[in-house]
Structure 1
Amino acid sequence: METGSGERAGAPAGEAVWRRLQPGLLRVRRLLLVVWTGVLTIATALLTGMLAGPAWAVWALLPPAAAVWGWRLLERNWRSWRYAERADDLLISRGVLWREETVVPYGRMQLVEVTSGPLERHFGLATVQLHTAAAATDATIPGLEPAEAERLRDRLTELGEARSAGL
């Protein structure tokens, strides 16, 4: 059973405690969906109406129909994201149809960044980006509260330095 913060009640000490992303990330993504749907709807209506005639402007209904479907998919994707800090590594899990789990050993981390664009800052969110020696490692945790992102950055940096020093 998970509590509100993503922690499982009664989890053994060595077991991973999964944490979820903030609901603000879902709001940001849905806002972007609505904005881009509006832009595409207007552009489609104008272009088809002017180039092919008013009857063809019915194609402008396609972007809103796709947005209705995308609205639900965004929530499913948001719910699929989670991360867990273990003794020797960080786990990041995501994906609805194709589940992807990334395991990043603390000793392999070279850089931990916290970024927050203007829209993320407005919604009180930040992203943690992990860089390792492997170029293919996609270790990103979006949609965290800034305080949690900074705490995670500091902890991962501390553990990474300790593991790379052999402690």
Structure 2
Amino acid sequence: MSEPFDPADVTWTRVSPRLAAARITTTSIVFGVPLLILVVVAVLTGEPWVWLPVAVLAAVLLWLVLLIGRQVRAIGYAERADDLLVRRGIMFRELVVVPYGRMQYVDVSAGPLARKFGIAAVQLHTASPATTATIDGLAPEEAARLRERLASRGEARLAGL
């Protein structure tokens, strides 16, 4: 018997590990600046209790950096004959099934940081917001291939209606 989040007949394709590096960079910037400010304040004041927020923020940053790697390894997608499966999550798992015939359009996007790390995102849009799915962390070539393949499969399924 297969689990609801891991069907037995599916071969998952993982996203690029460069997604983890991009997310770690973003997290380090967001938490690193306040951490640096707190360290400067702690040094300038000389009070021992001021180091407590520094330690808490550093611990949170370390925990997030360790968590990001696991989160990225949990992301995957699988192309089946009639639909695309997208899964993500460790504690709160999610499996989105997008039927090819319900896809309206497919976007590929890459912001400045994503381009720096050589990754892109594919977003599938359907009539229902509940089945809209995004696959982050794809190599740009894979993102373009997936967009073309999904678009052609979607057109083929719509033609049969």
CA distance in 2, matches of 1:154, 1:140: 15
- Equivalent in 89, 100, 121 of residue 106 of structure 1: 100
Please report how far the alpha carbon of residue 69 of structure 1 lies from its aligned counterpart in structure 2 after TM superposition.
1.1
Which runs of no fewer than 5 residues in structure 2 stay unpaired?
1-8
Q: Tell me the alpha carbon deviations over residues 104-125 of structure 1, each in whole angstroms, 9 at most, x when there is no partner.
A: 0000000100000001001110
Distance 1:126 1:25 in 2: 9
- Structure 1 distance, partners of 2:131, 2:38, is 38
Which residue of 2 is the match for residue 57 of structure 1? Answer: 50
- Gaps of at least 5 residues in structure 1 are 1-14
Q: Does 2:22 correspond to 1:28?
A: yes
The residue correspondences of 1:82-97 to structure 2 (distance < 5 A) are 82-97=76-91
- C-alpha displacement of 1:18: 1.1
The size of the alignment, in residue pairs, is 152
Tell me how large the CA RMSD over aligned residues is. 2.0
Once the two structures are TM-superposed, the CA of residue 136 in structure 1 deviates from its matched residue by 2.6
| Dislocated runs of 4+, deviation >4 Å | 45-50
Rounded Cα–Cα distance in structure 1 between residues aligned with 2:94 and 2:159: 30
1:38 to 26, 32, 42: 32
1:72 CA displacement? 1.4
Please state if 1:144 is matched with 2:144.
Answer: no
2:148 is equivalent to residue 157 of structure 1? no
2: distance between equivalents of 1:114 and 1:72? Answer: 28
Question: In the aligned structure 1, how far is the partner of 2:154 from the partner of 2:139?
Answer: 22
Partner of 2:68: 74
SS of equivalent to 2:129: coil
Q: What is the TM-score when the length of structure 2 is the normalising length?
A: 0.86
CA displacement 1:2-34 (0-9 Å, x = unmatched): xxxxxxxxxxxxx43210010110111111222
- The equivalent residue for 1:124 is 118
**TM-score when normalising by structure 1:** 0.83
